[in-house]
Amino acid sequence: MGNSFGQLFRVTTFGESHGPGIGAVIDGCPPRLPLSAEEIQAELARRRPGQSEITTPRVESDTVEILSGVYQGLTLGTPIALLVRNHDHNPKAYEAMRDKFRPSHADFCYQVKYGIRNHEGGGRSSARETIGRVAAGAIAAKILRLGDGTEIRAYVESIQGISMETPPEFPTREAIEANAVRCPDPATAARMIARIEEIRDQGDSVGGVICCRVRSASPGLGEPVFDRLDADLAKAMLSLPASKGFELGSGFAGTLLKGSSHNDAFVVRDGAVHTATNRSGGVQGGISNGEEIYFRVAFKPTATIKLLQRTVDAQGRETSLTGQGRHDPCVLPRAVPIVEAMAALVLLDHRLRDKAQNHTFNF
Amino acid sequence: MGNSFGQLFRVTTFGESHGPGIGAVIDGCPPRLPLSAEEIQAELARRRPGQSEITTPRVESDTVEILSGVYQGLTLGTPIALLVRNHDHNPKAYEAMRDKFRPSHADFCYQVKYGIRNHEGGGRSSARETIGRVAAGAIAAKILRLGDGTEIRAYVESIQGISMETPPEFPTREAIEANAVRCPDPATAARMIARIEEIRDQGDSVGGVICCRVRSASPGLGEPVFDRLDADLAKAMLSLPASKGFELGSGFAGTLLKGSSHNDAFVVRDGAVHTATNRSGGVQGGISNGEEIYFRVAFKPTATIKLLQRTVDAQGRETSLTGQGRHDPCVLPRAVPIVEAMAALVLLDHRLRDKAQNHTFNF
Amino acid sequence: MGNSFGQLFRVTTFGESHGPGIGAVIDGCPPRLPLSAEEIQAELARRRPGQSEITTPRVESDTVEILSGVYQGLTLGTPIALLVRNHDHNPKAYEAMRDKFRPSHADFCYQVKYGIRNHEGGGRSSARETIGRVAAGAIAAKILRLGDGTEIRAYVESIQGISMETPPEFPTREAIEANAVRCPDPATAARMIARIEEIRDQGDSVGGVICCRVRSASPGLGEPVFDRLDADLAKAMLSLPASKGFELGSGFAGTLLKGSSHNDAFVVRDGAVHTATNRSGGVQGGISNGEEIYFRVAFKPTATIKLLQRTVDAQGRETSLTGQGRHDPCVLPRAVPIVEAMAALVLLDHRLRDKAQNHTFNF
Amino acid sequence: MGNSFGQLFRVTTFGESHGPGIGAVIDGCPPRLPLSAEEIQAELARRRPGQSEITTPRVESDTVEILSGVYQGLTLGTPIALLVRNHDHNPKAYEAMRDKFRPSHADFCYQVKYGIRNHEGGGRSSARETIGRVAAGAIAAKILRLGDGTEIRAYVESIQGISMETPPEFPTREAIEANAVRCPDPATAARMIARIEEIRDQGDSVGGVICCRVRSASPGLGEPVFDRLDADLAKAMLSLPASKGFELGSGFAGTLLKGSSHNDAFVVRDGAVHTATNRSGGVQGGISNGEEIYFRVAFKPTATIKLLQRTVDAQGRETSLTGQGRHDPCVLPRAVPIVEAMAALVLLDHRLRDKAQNHTFNF
């Protein structure tokens, strides 16, 4: 249970990191959408290992195959099944993980919960699982772009203490992709990369914060009282491996302000109602108000490090462990497309839900 | 859509702040649980308006009636419907809200989404809706307490800049209830209350952070990959009015650490596997590991203030507005039982889901 | 669990026959629909006990109150909660049911499943539960009527061996309501009524078949492969108390034909594609094709009879039982509005689902 | 939407008959179940085309691959993805279907609903889709067998007018598999086979009724009021291609009896409560009572026939069509394992739901 996301654009992911394959099934994709494996592949390339010096050197081709739901280049309205075969399997690299629980990984909890686990590479808890999310998110993002002109941009805002100022302009995809850390400010990016390399060379790891901004989302998205847009975004982001926090708009910093400084006054701009400021982050009462939606996600330092750590083995004896295998010293650069994918899944699902309830009948 | 929460212990809330009543229907409550209206009433008293000098002076009796699902003091396993009648209705107090959108409230978004709204007192977006949550949460918390010995404690950790150190001990309910602001540290509480009173007298409002801690939750709770325990807690908390952020364990501050400082080493204590530290916040890989679960929720300053604000009316003309009615200068004290209620709903739902999949058959 | 129906127009019912009340919460009703308690009351009058000589003489006023979701005569898009208080409670009438399981009732199964039951009047398994369905169905039917011109007509087709020929014309509501048994053919109705009265006077009971026909349903309703329109209609009908069978179109009789006689040829009529015959019952491949939808539901003889029957008591001893209380000798006349209500719930839910997936974007 | 079935043992199927592949993802399978592809393959062999003279002569190997969720022969508790590649693809055989709607097929409805369809072999509406159901059902049936000793036996009860008496004994799998038509009575089977061959040689097709019986199902399965066991069985069966009716226990024939003849008296047998008769079909009030569960499903004559039929083309012009390709003259023999699979999915899902709500806590 728990492997599906969304109500109307519903994604189910499957696969362990070292089983036969990883994938997703999407139920509810609108029909007649032009769709090719190449488009999905382009997004997968952004989360692929081995894409730069500061990500894991593992090389995985991660080639996606569309198994169903597309005919002659158009979606059918039937489930779209996507499959990426696993390769580059070196079981010996994970031999130590069979008996020892890696600190701050999911190993121990999976063992406790299920009484069994595929210890190779983290199995189901591996970040490889997000391949299915990125593939599905690529489709959702395309629908939002074609249908509403919605653009979703995530980028790395801080790495450990190194932080950028929120740029005044909505960043371009090109600016984000221009460097290995996916921070649209080149100077900050250079400092971040230097830090990551330094930490990596120590055998250690580092975390940070990703900011995600959404322009031209339809107003009216969000289904109070439980399925608020911000609530579903929070769930989506906390469902990502290594994420520890979420804030929308002013977030935690907003708790330092008084109401008179925090409230977003309504104003008329170009004949339309807008807010003068946007501390709400584009969502009020759980519903998008047409302003830019923005939120931040905290990612902890990668749990796998090459330094010696204390731990316990499957027999309950204290022991120690040194991280094996090839891992990212910092997950954030590769998490950027994953955050975007999850945002797209939330937004499209709410777009369809809003359509269903509100645009149906004229009484 | 969006008014139900949970898969197996499923709560549906209904009601507008100034309609006939507010309530909830709970589907999936285990049978044979002793349950009385009085127990639920006791929790409602904690979120009730008018309970202290720093909450709204509105007086609402908020008397709950059990309409179904309980027979001779025991639950039947059938839906439990709960109803609280609305009183103290002064429509004139909300006359100004008919035509003017209150800044940073849900008014504008409801109007855009539904093309209609009950403007009196916020209607469905009023915090009165949380009555149903608190009532349902009281039942969930009782089941967790009787079944697993689980204890859930939320308290106010900071108000604006005034913050307490995380207490070394798990706070008692008595310590939390000992003062009007629900901060278990008396000295900090006194400073918080003074600040709230000062801000209230300015006609302004203030926000802060609530911390919630859970002891003796069953290990193994959480359904990766999407319905992780932390993801569902995040959704639950962001579904609350005025909340803007969530963090579990080390949260945003954890992004400043290196992996070697952040990881929680496994150790053996009293013959059982534990973690030496708990930056994970009791959840690893989306599953509870048996350690204390703790998380924080950011609440923005109350949107309703008595100061003049710019806004727009229903005809799209710029205008201004001064807050009417009786409102909390700070939502946090009354949000404490609501945070606990939502935590209980998440934990019990996951407890039942874990039962269903994992303890069923011995192969 | 199991007390909600529908995905997008989602109804949750609650209440035991002799608890404080019975009701429903509807989540997903489109906003701005004109709605009054009187309209709902009119449908409840059709399922009310005591409406004729051949139904139970119990008198229940069954007055519905709208608790939420409607403001100044229009729906808000928020949950609509409906409540009917229980009256006419005579606990002594049910004393014998405390210890003895009534044959072919749900008593034994509720006791086995939940380890507890409200034995008075059947508790949750009482047909009074259908009040919530009828109330919700009245709203769904109105939306379908206003939005698409859809008309739903159920009527009694056979009582025991007494059967009507399927009328060539779509029956009017007036023809169905013209007699106590709700059979639109007056001669057959008279024979049915005589049979029911004869059986009633014997202290026995009788069953039969209800036919339901739907005109002007939107084509394209149904979500293969599992949520086919016919599959969801079947579930809806088998969820009714006392129902034992469902068939769509040619149904069981169609198994006697060869394919060449059974297939519905496509033809052009008035410039549109139609089928020459309609053995499919308006649904092909699980999707409505625009022809009349029709199906039949089998209802067993009422389980409560006034004759002596063998049974077992709560201590597992064999004993005997004579039916007490006031019961319908035949459930079908009062089941007619319930069948219509469930059909309306299924059709509207699928209408919204079809809207969501298929009419959203023009690529 | 609509391609998932079940709440806790949740199956999502995907695939078109002539796309790359067909499959299913199962979320919620209990961990540590021994499982191999061979076991699943054995069930697929029973629904495979080309297995006898009276089924389609198409030869499809239908080899299943387990993509995830199983490690070293045991289930992990993670999603189990199953894939069967499509072969034997002859697009020319379906050329005529591109423009002409086959009578009583889903072609027209898919075109109306989605504005697009994969016309080759029926696409998503092809019975090949049931491969995923049979594969998932094989797993569910194994769990029920190992966990509760539950046995599910479906067989062909009638073909057109040729019918068997219900056998007094619960049929063995061997007796059912002993002949090509899967009727456990050899003499009736021989007559059925002769009829099917005769009809096949006419280029026509024939339907019939499958009976399914379940022994040793756990009592207490079913979640009133909507998710009754019989309601979910009805939905499951009406979700099958070509099915037109469902009846549980006495079904439509039961409507001819009086209550005094129809009721199942409770008796004590071997120290346990049983019913003297079983017209209820093992389900009362929507909950299993421990007696044998039995129901019947009506299947219409195969829509594809080799005779000339009137139809309409995609341009809305009347035309005619002669069935092409290789099809079953009667779907029932191959539908037997599909009915069993769906029954297993319903029963296991309810088993887990019952576990979740009712066996959790001792208060």
pLDDT score for D103: 96
Structural tokens at position A130: 């997000």
Average pLDDT over residues C264-273: 96
- Is the pLDDT assigned to residue B360 strictly greater than 60? no
D248 closest CA partner among A279, C247, C309, C62: C247
| CB-based burial label for D322 (10 Å; 0-12, 13-18, 19+) | exposed
Average pLDDT over residues B354-362: 75
Mean residue pLDDT across chain C: 93
Q: Which residues contact B201 (CB under 8 A, 6 or more apart)?
A: none
- Is the pLDDT assigned to residue C78 strictly greater than 80? yes
Instruction: Check if A300 contacts B (Cβ < 8 Å).
Output: yes
Query: A146 contacts in C (CB within 8 Å)?
Result: 361, 363
Q: How confident is the model at residue C300 (pLDDT cuts 50, 70, 90)?
A: very high
Of B207, B260, B285, which has the smallest distance from its Cβ to A110's Cβ?
A: B285
Of B27, B65, B71, which has the smallest distance from its Cβ to C1's Cβ?
A: B27
Q: How confident is the model at residue A198 (pLDDT cuts 50, 70, 90)?
A: very high
Average pLDDT over residues A326-333: 90
Q: D touches which chains (3+ CB pairs under 8 A)?
A: A, B, C
pLDDT tens digits for range B190-211: 999 999 999 999 999 999 999 9
Are D263 and C309 a contacting pair at CB < 8 A? Answer: yes
- Distance to chain D for C6, nearest Cα, Å: 10
Mean residue pLDDT across chain B: 93
pLDDT score for D54: 81
Instruction: Check if B27 contacts C (Cβ < 8 Å).
Output: yes
**In which order are the strands placed within the sheet that holds D64-66?**
D4-5, D10-14, D21-27, D80-85, D64-66
Q: How far is CA A202 from the centre of its chain?
A: 27
The string of DSSP codes covering B42-111 is: HHHHHH-TTSSTTS--------EEE-SSEETTEE-SS-EEEEEE-----GGGGGGGGTBPPTTSSHHHHH
Identify the three-state secondary structure at position B133.
helix
Least confident of A14-23, D22-31, D100-109, D319-328: D319-328
Q: How confident is the model at residue C61 (pLDDT cuts 50, 70, 90)?
A: confident
B45 closest CA partner among B138, B158, B156: B138
A350 closest CA partner among A235, A179, A210: A235
What residues 303-362 of chain C have any CB closer than 8 A to a CB of chain D?
Answer: 303-305, 307, 309-312, 316-318, 353-354, 356-358
Structural tokens at position A304: 């796998």
Residue scoring higher pLDDT (A361 or D350): D350
pLDDT tens digits for range A24-35: 999 999 999 999
Are D300 and C254 a contacting pair at CB < 8 A? Answer: yes
Q: What is the distance between the alpha carbons of residues B54 and B200, in angstroms, rounded to a whole number?
A: 8
Q: How confident is the model at residue B54 (pLDDT cuts 50, 70, 90)?
A: confident
3-state secondary structure A201-263: HCCCCECEEEEEEEECCCCCCCECCCECHHHHHHHHHHCCCCEEEEEECCHHHHHHCEHHHHC
Cα-only R_g, chain A: 21
Q: What is the distance between the alpha carbons of residues C297 and C212, in angstroms, rounded to a whole number?
A: 8
Of D12, D68, D123, which has the smallest distance from its Cβ to A16's Cβ?
A: D68
Structural tokens at position A284: 């009020």
Taking a C-beta distance cutoff of 8 angstroms, is the pair A70, A80 a contact?
yes
pLDDT tens digits for range A129-184: 999 999 999 999 999 999 999 999 999 999 998 998 767 689 999 999 999 999 99
C290 closest CA partner among C281, C301, C300, C279: C281
Domain ranges (residues) in chain A: 4-358
Structural tokens at position B74: 């025991």
Are B311 and A265 a contacting pair at CB < 8 A? Answer: yes
Instruction: Check if A124 contacts C (Cβ < 8 Å).
Output: no
Are A1 and D8 a contacting pair at CB < 8 A? Answer: yes
How far are the Cα atoms of A210, B91, B127, B264, B289 from residue B74, in angstroms, in the given order?
Answer: 49, 39, 30, 43, 32
Instruction: Check if D40 contacts C (Cβ < 8 Å).
Output: no
The string of DSSP codes covering D246-281 is: EEETTTTGGGGSBHHHH---EEEETTEEEESS-TTT
C9 closest CA partner among C98, C140, C119, C99: C140
Query: B287 contacts in A (CB within 8 Å)?
Result: 106, 109-110, 112-113
Q: What is the distance between the alpha carbons of residues D178 and D176, in angstroms, rounded to a whole number?
A: 5
Query: D124 contacts in A (CB within 8 Å)?
Result: 76, 78
pLDDT score for A315: 92
- Is the pLDDT assigned to residue D173 strictly greater than 90? yes
Q: What is the distance between the alpha carbons of residues A250 and A259, in angstroms, rounded to a whole number?
A: 12
Q: What is the distance between the alpha carbons of residues B289 and A113, in angstroms, rounded to a whole number?
A: 9
Taking a C-beta distance cutoff of 8 angstroms, is the pair A35, A17 a contact?
no
Taking a C-beta distance cutoff of 8 angstroms, is the pair C225, D129 a contact?
yes
Characterise D45 by phi-psi region: left (phi > 0), alpha (psi -120 to 50), beta (else).
alpha
Query: C68 contacts in A (CB within 8 Å)?
Result: none
- Is the pLDDT assigned to residue C25 strictly greater than 90? yes
End-to-end CA gap in chain D:
40
Buried b (16+ CB within 10 A) or exposed e, D1-21: bbbbbbbbbbbbbbbbbbbbb
Q: What is the distance between the alpha carbons of residues B281 and B180, in angstroms, rounded to a whole number?
A: 28
Determine how many CB atoms are found less than 10 A away from the CB of residue C268.
12
Q: What is the distance between the alpha carbons of residues B209 and B214, in angstroms, rounded to a whole number?
A: 17
D135 closest CA partner among D342, D362, D317: D342
Taking a C-beta distance cutoff of 8 angstroms, is the pair C101, C313 a contact?
yes
Instruction: Check if C265 contacts D (Cβ < 8 Å).
Output: yes
pLDDT score for C56: 75
Taking a C-beta distance cutoff of 8 angstroms, is the pair C306, C323 a contact?
yes
pLDDT score for C319: 96
Residue scoring higher pLDDT (B50 or C271): C271
pLDDT score for D359: 59
- Is the pLDDT assigned to residue C105 strictly greater than 80? yes
Average pLDDT over residues C29-53: 92
- Distance to chain B for D81, nearest Cα, Å: 15
pLDDT tens digits for range D88-100: 666 676 777 789 9
pLDDT score for B91: 65
Of B13, B31, B83, which has the smallest distance from its Cβ to C114's Cβ?
A: B31
Are B356 and D356 a contacting pair at CB < 8 A? Answer: yes
State whether ipTM is beyond 0.85.
yes
Are A113 and D81 a contacting pair at CB < 8 A? Answer: no
Q: How confident is the model at residue B172 (pLDDT cuts 50, 70, 90)?
A: very high
Identify the three-state secondary structure at position C246.
strand
End-to-end CA gap in chain C:
40
pTM of the full structure: 0.97
- Nearest residue on chain C to D249, alpha-carbon basis: C244
Taking a C-beta distance cutoff of 8 angstroms, is the pair D116, D123 a contact?
no
D308 closest CA partner among D329, D318, D322: D322
- Nearest residue on chain A to D9, alpha-carbon basis: A1
Q: How confident is the model at residue D120 (pLDDT cuts 50, 70, 90)?
A: confident
Instruction: Check if A8 contacts C (Cβ < 8 Å).
Output: yes
Q: Which residues pair with A23 in a beta bridge?
A: A14, A83
CATH number belonging to the domain at A4-358, selected among 3.40.50.300, 3.50.50.60, 3.60.150.10, 3.30.70.20 = 3.60.150.10
